[in-house]
Amino acid sequence: EAAELGKGSFKYAWVLDKLKAERERGITIDIALWKFETPKYYVTVIDAPGHRDFIKNMITGTSQADCAILIIAAGTGEFEAGISKDGQTREHALLAFTLGVKQLIVAINKMDTAKWAEARYNEIIKETSTFIKKVGYNPKTVAFV
């Protein structure tokens, strides 16, 4: 469906982005839940918005979480904007910690835009480790993927 509407690059986001406006704009607006079980756990995935205009919805979703996955774009400029003083990546990490989310996973995406460069990946890990430590997380206990 995403490809048919010229939004093929959003195909994975469309699993949880159900609102027409989300699909048209290519951003998550409201939280979405997806539940599943493993032999050991009941898991609820909460997809929360990353866009500045929908920070209240992000707080609603994050306040219910035991663990957060912080998605960081590897693209030149994108990463730097996210971790800047007023960046959304920085704000989301701070809010997650403040809201009591003690487990953090950092997922670095869009590595294709960095030509899969290991140096870029390592740079992002180093920079991200520095700011999440200031927020309150221990970078040694954070998984980077």
Q: Domain containing 69 — which CATH number?
A: 3.40.50.300
Asked if 100 and 59 sit in the same domain, the reply is no
Instruction: Give whole-number Cα distances, 31 to 63, 100, 110, 133, in Å.
Output: 12, 18, 22, 27
| pLDDT tens digit sequence for 17-73 | 555 666 565 666 666 777 889 999 998 877 766 666 667 777 777 787 888 989 899
Residue ending a domain, among 35, 63, 91, is 63
Q: Are residues 71 and 47 in the same domain?
A: no
Dist CA 66 CA 129 (whole Å): 20
Top pLDDT among 132 and 35 is at 132
Number of C-beta neighbours around residue 83 at 10 A = 18
Q: Which helix (H) or strand (E) holds 104?
A: strand 103-109
Whether residue 37 is found in the same domain as residue 89:
no
pTM score of the predicted model:
0.75
The residue range of the domain holding 110 is 65-145
Give the tens place of pLDDT for each residue, 73-87.
999 999 999 999 989
Q: How many domains does the chain have?
A: 2
Select from 25, 45, 63 the last residue of a domain.
Answer: 63
* pLDDT-above-70 percentage for the chain: 73
